[in-house]
Amino acid sequence: MEDSGVAYAPGTRARHLYVLPVTAAIIACLCILALTFWIVRERGIDLQTRQLEGAARTQIQTLESILAKQRAVAAVLADDSGIRDALVDRLDSDVARVSIKLDRLRDQTNSAVIYLLDREGVAIAASNWDETVSFVGLDYSFREYFSEALLRGEATQFALGTVSKRPGLYLSHDVVSGEEQLGVVVVKVEFDGVEQNWGRSAQDILVVDGAGQVILTSQPDRRFKPLLPAKGAEVVVELPVSGADWRLIARAVPAGANQAAALAAGTVGFLLTLSLAGAVWAVRARTRAARRAETERLYRADLERAVDERTHALSEEMRERRAAEQRLVRLQGEMVQANKLATLGQITAGVAHEVNSPLATIRLLAENGQQMLSAGQGARLDGNLGQIIRMSDRIAQIITELRSFARKATGEIGAVPLGEALDAALLLVASRRRAEGIKIMLPAVPPRLRVQAETVRLEQILVNLIQNAQEALAGQVDAELRIALSMTDDRVRVTVSDNGPGLSPEIAAHLFTPFATSKREGLGLGLVISQGIARDFGGELTAEPPCPGQGATFHLDLRMAK
């Protein structure tokens, strides 16, 4: 062949052979570093967003609590007889008493100021009646919260005080006597403490009103100005404030995410460098592999022996854990059965009444039948015998339901007719409901409606819920128990509610905690066990938060059987 005229040294040719692999390795490492940085940064931003959202929800709860409390103050004062008397009679003694009451109430509720306006908008009493800047005698008819309260009964307005020059939220409520509007009660709330806490926070937190103006902020120079757009790199969370046309906005710079991403990329880069160095070392050490073969064989033998020992230990540990889990399952089943038997003990007296009454009727009818038989009254005797048969069927039905309720559950979940389970539960607790005169409202359950459950345990949940409601209604006039039914594509919700005294906040906070009960003879396990059973069915048992003036409401969500 003809010589090309270019000659390469052996070392030069070898270096050329390594150029492409080395370049590819460098490009791959750079891609890995970039991908690592991006993934860690996105995860950091996502974590920071969740943390920011949690902080924002906490601040919203604080604001909503303040608004609810101060609205309640205005509403209660608007219904106060002393307030109405002061507006009607205008006696100095009545007005003075109202001012003193407002002053005391302001201290108790942490309000900024509370004052009473007459029909023309003039303040006749105020919590700052004894201060230099007292509102008494000042005209506030120009304020929007005054005119809106007269027009719609109540109003809110965030504005600067004309006397104090301090920003705050004004909550107003009209005072009515019959059909006549006498005046307006106004409660001013200032958020200095909340804004100071925001100022100490690492996040930028503020509140804007419906017009997009900033009203609450730790930086006074931003108040009553339009909201500035967020910077491109900022993490922003925006949530509505219930009870007001407000939005809470929390912002934070993702500095931590960038630092974590840089650290992760540096760590990966360091590991990649170590890996490349190890690869080079492995290539150079290949020639020494034979001399270490025996040492590695011994090492592997020791490692395999250690692995065998550890595997044996893990197997023993797994057997002990399985045995413990089986004991736990048995204990849970015994707790469920104990709760069921305790429930049976509570309804036994009522069931005894249900059985004794038909038995007494059967005996009376039988005695009458003997007399009719001797008197030759066959037709009436036939009627008595028919009634005896119906009474016997009633007793048999009650005993059958008791036996079914008392037996242990099998643990097998399948399609259960919801209507039959509800009928059985109502039958077991019917005697107490009749004794207490409780009115019950039942839903129309479709005959073919079935849920994923087990009959015995489903009846146990329903008996617990209905019996708890009946106990809450004991001795109450116009007692009413409501059972409602709602369905979606694959879920069924059974709602049990009453018009009793409801749940106290203390009981509601520990409602599903074992051994927490308000009953003197209660075990505190009924709702806990019922919730566990519902979750075994793939459903959920929940209670609505307590609301003053309303009874308790429980929701049992179940999967619909196909």
Q: What is the mean pLDDT of the chain?
A: 80
On the question of pLDDT at 39 being above 70, the answer is yes
The pLDDT value given to residue 164: 82
The pLDDT value given to residue 516: 61
Arithmetic mean of pLDDT, 298-312: 85
CB 541 within 8 A of CB 554: yes
Q: How far apart are CA 301 and CA 295, in angstroms?
A: 10
The pTM of the full predicted model, rounded to 2 decimals, is 0.43
Smallest CA-to-CA distance from 427 within 487, 351, 363 is with 351
Side by side, which strands form the sheet with 491-498? 439-441, 480-487, 491-498, 553-559, 540-543
> H or E element: which one contains 188?
strand 180-189
What confidence tens digit (pLDDT) does each residue in 143-195 have? 999 999 999 999 999 988 888 888 999 999 999 988 889 999 999 998 888 88
What confidence tens digit (pLDDT) does each residue in 357-389 have? 666 666 666 666 666 666 665 555 666 566 566
- How would you class 164 by CB atoms within 10 Å of its CB: exposed for 0-12, middle for 13-18, buried for 19 or more? middle
Looking at domain 413-559, its CATH architecture is 2-Layer Sandwich (3.30)
What confidence tens digit (pLDDT) does each residue in 220-268 have? 888 888 888 877 677 888 889 887 888 888 888 776 556 666 777 678 7
- How would you class 411 by CB atoms within 10 Å of its CB: exposed for 0-12, middle for 13-18, buried for 19 or more? exposed
The pLDDT value given to residue 1: 43
The pLDDT value given to residue 2: 46
Q: Which residues contact 419 (CB under 8 A, 6 or more apart)?
A: 445, 446, 447, 449
The pLDDT value given to residue 117: 94
The pLDDT value given to residue 524: 62
Q: Do domains 22-267 and 413-559 have the same CATH topology?
A: no
Domain ranges for the chain: 22-267, 413-559
Alpha helix segments (H runs only) across 233-288? 255-285
What confidence tens digit (pLDDT) does each residue in 190-230 have? 888 888 888 887 778 889 888 888 888 878 888 888 888 87
More confident residue, 427 or 488: 488
DSSP of 72-92, one letter per residue?
A: HHHHHHHT-HHHHHHHHH--H
What confidence tens digit (pLDDT) does each residue in 54-71 have? 888 888 888 888 888 888
On the question of pLDDT at 281 being above 70, the answer is yes
On the question of pLDDT at 83 being above 50, the answer is yes
Q: How far apart are CA 406 and CA 429, in angstroms?
A: 14
The pLDDT value given to residue 442: 93
Indicate the residue type of 265: A
Report residue 315's pLDDT band, with 50, 70 and 90 as the boundaries.
Answer: confident
* Stretch among 336-350, 466-480, 536-550 having the lowest mean pLDDT: 336-350
The pLDDT value given to residue 440: 92
The pLDDT value given to residue 400: 57
Smallest CA-to-CA distance from 136 within 100, 172, 84, 181 is with 100
On the question of pLDDT at 25 being above 60, the answer is yes
Smallest CA-to-CA distance from 332 within 514, 154, 172, 507 is with 514
Backbone angles phi, psi at 339, to 5 degrees: -65, -40
Q: How far apart are CA 177 and CA 189, in angstroms?
A: 26
What confidence tens digit (pLDDT) does each residue in 383-437 have? 656 656 665 655 555 555 555 555 555 568 899 999 999 998 888 888 778 778 8
Q: 3-state DSSP call for residue 288? A: helix
H/E/C letters for each residue in 134-178? CCCCCECCCCHHHHHHHHHCEEEEEEECCCCCCEEEEEEEEEEEC
Indicate the residue type of 277: A
Q: What percent of the chain has pLDDT over 90?
A: 22
- How would you class 47 by CB atoms within 10 Å of its CB: exposed for 0-12, middle for 13-18, buried for 19 or more? middle
CB 168 within 8 A of CB 190: yes
* Stretch among 95-109, 256-270, 544-558 having the lowest mean pLDDT: 256-270
| Residue count of the chain | 562
- CATH class label, 22-267: alpha beta
Q: 3-state DSSP call for residue 205? A: strand
Please list the residues that pair with 173 across neighbouring strands: 154, 185
